[in-house]
Amino acid sequence: MTKTVDSLPIGRPRRSYSKLSERLRQFMEDGNFRDGDKLPPERALAESFGVSRSSVREAIRALAEKGLLESRHGDGTYVRVPDMEPLKTAILEAVDSEGLLFDEVMEYRKLVEPSIAELAALRRTPEQLGKLKIIACDQQRRLMVGESDGDLDAQFHLALAECTGNRMFIDAISRLNDLYAGGRTPDLRDAQWREFSLSSHLRIIDALERQSPEDARKELDGHLDTIIHKHIFSTTRD
């Protein structure tokens, strides 16, 4: 039986890409991706394969470097070979790479960020609490007008680390935000996801305002659990 820590499996289970592979196979059997064809836009490909646009973009870049695709300025990208198996492989490899990075990032976040929230509840200043509230208000405004808030999500977690007064935590979250930027892109943060992010942040702020380290840890831990189980790159996602 697999050992668990906080209901998460130890190690990095590899995500199965059978569904993605089947989508790609059917897509090609339907007459797509023939030699000389123009590729659909990145968004259309991402929606067809059920992956992020960044995954598709990385796969296209890798194939263009190999001469399998040709990018024509102002006109799009064209297929240059009759065998589309390399495209399928490149997309799978790109998504696999993102999935592995996501697993590693979330494993780290699960170990570090709940402790940051706990310390933040004990050490935060009124000014720091106010900064977190301003970020949440900005998130709410963007949610109402349908704008992306990935940058604000990153700012919130950095501001939370700043509440600890520990430079090691602050530096760690700053570096983590750079590494995790691909997980906060607009195509991955739809309205439902942005609403979840905002509501979680508000509950964390409430725990900090009450100076309850136990609740702060609990809310941050639950926030990360939802991301792990619902995010597109999660190995636990169907």
Summarize pLDDT for 177-232 with one digit per residue, the tens. Answer: 988 776 787 767 888 889 999 999 999 999 999 999 999 999 999 999 998 887 65
SS3 137: helix
Q: Which fold has domain 18-93?
A: Arc Repressor Mutant, subunit A (1.10.10)
Summarize pLDDT for 25-84 with one digit per residue, the tens. Answer: 566 556 566 667 787 787 777 766 666 677 677 777 777 777 777 878 778 888 776 566
What residue spans of the chain are helical by DSSP H?
18-29, 42-49, 53-65, 85-123, 126-145, 150-162, 167-179, 191-209, 213-230
- Per-domain residue ranges for the chain? 18-93, 101-230
Homologous superfamily, domain 101-230 = GntR ligand-binding domain-like (1.20.120.530)
